[in-house]
Structure 1
Amino acid sequence: MTEHHTTAAGAGAGEEFWDARYRESDRIWSGDPNAALVAEVTDLPPGRALDLGCGEGGDAIWLALRGWHVTATDISGVALERAALHARDAGVPEGAVEWQRHDLAESFPEGAFDLVSASYLHTPGDMPREAVLRRAAAAVAPGGVLLVTGHAAPGPFDPPAHHAMHFPTPRDVLASLELPSDTWQVERAEEFERTQKGPDGRPGLRNDNVLRVRRPAA
């Protein structure tokens, strides 16, 4: 499981914090794409995708190898450099992924996208998550999809600080997007259970949630 907490937490903690964290080890995340992304995107026709909080590139690489042209963002320049190396090692065609550094509280990629994916944008820091997700929705092209994946509750391996965090339900996220209810189509809004490995390598169960909404075609 990739399980990114990069751009969102970075927006609260800052670029230096996340650069330092990535320098602590050669790899933080597994390199695998997030399970919800695979489940929700496999049947979509490839187009332009925006990956918010790409971390070491697991989701962006998976999308690019399936024909998507990806704009992948993170607050950490160290993470982006590492992601680009992983993409080359994985055989991603040159130019299939554009790596951009953004603190999403301050700047946002330009353009319209057939898929905008925001995975695990949680942070105990000060980050305008709802405003970021509204900008994400605004970046969806006509007929395109916004996919928001998040935790439903603290997991068995989370540090104590996460127990003070607010984990919105899919319906909470939908309400915060302030989408015109008579046009956007809600294709999925539900909680699911998955297995997550802890620091000792042993698996544990945690609940996450997913929201998938589609902008009406022009």
Structure 2
Amino acid sequence: MTSIADLRKSYERAELDEKASHADPLQQFDQWLKEAISGEVPEPNAMTLATVGSDLRPSTRVVLIKGYDAQGIVWYTNYDSRKGHELAGNPYAALQFHWVELERVVRIEGLVEKVSDEESDAYFQSRPLDSRIGAWASPQSEVIPGRGVLVANAAKYAAQFLLKPPRPPHWGGYRLKPDNWQFWQGRKSRLHDRLRYTLEDSGGWRRERLAP
């Protein structure tokens, strides 16, 4: 039986050089995300979201990126969930993408704010009908006695709203406004490439190489 401690991999697919990387981290992210999509990496849009509660205990979960631009990284969720309550108390969070097949990691930190109602409404209406019903049916992060609760709720709201469920008041988008990015490219002998971009007061980005 193989020991977990003996599991190892040599990272040799690519490199990340300061001179070849983009000066703007958003452009670097855009390039890597598009390469993950074109490379058919499983769920390239999946990212880990880390938040911290009032008890100072961190928690993580996987969410899906739904948009990104110079304003930040956007995802949608239930505002009444654990992450929603934690962001209400502490609006700073961290995101991480791990594209295993490309031997790449992107880490992003910054301040989180809700997107506008108009943005949330537009995205909600673009979702499949069953996903829109699901937003009503699931009291996310609450204890429930069984799956039957979700099924019954879905049936109730499907009958109530038919083909036009409105966006629930407890559901919408968040936008993380990055002030720190890190790009990690696996390299041979654990001498990985790791670049950090830090937002400066001038609005520009300082790019630095970190030891892996």
Q: What's the TM-score once normalised by structure 1's chain length?
A: 0.26
TM-score by length of 2: 0.26
Task: Name the structure where strand makes up a greater proportion of residues.
Answer: 2
**Which protein shows a greater Rg?**
2
Q: With a CA cutoff of 8 Å and minimum separation of 6, indicate the structure with the bigger relative contact order.
A: 2
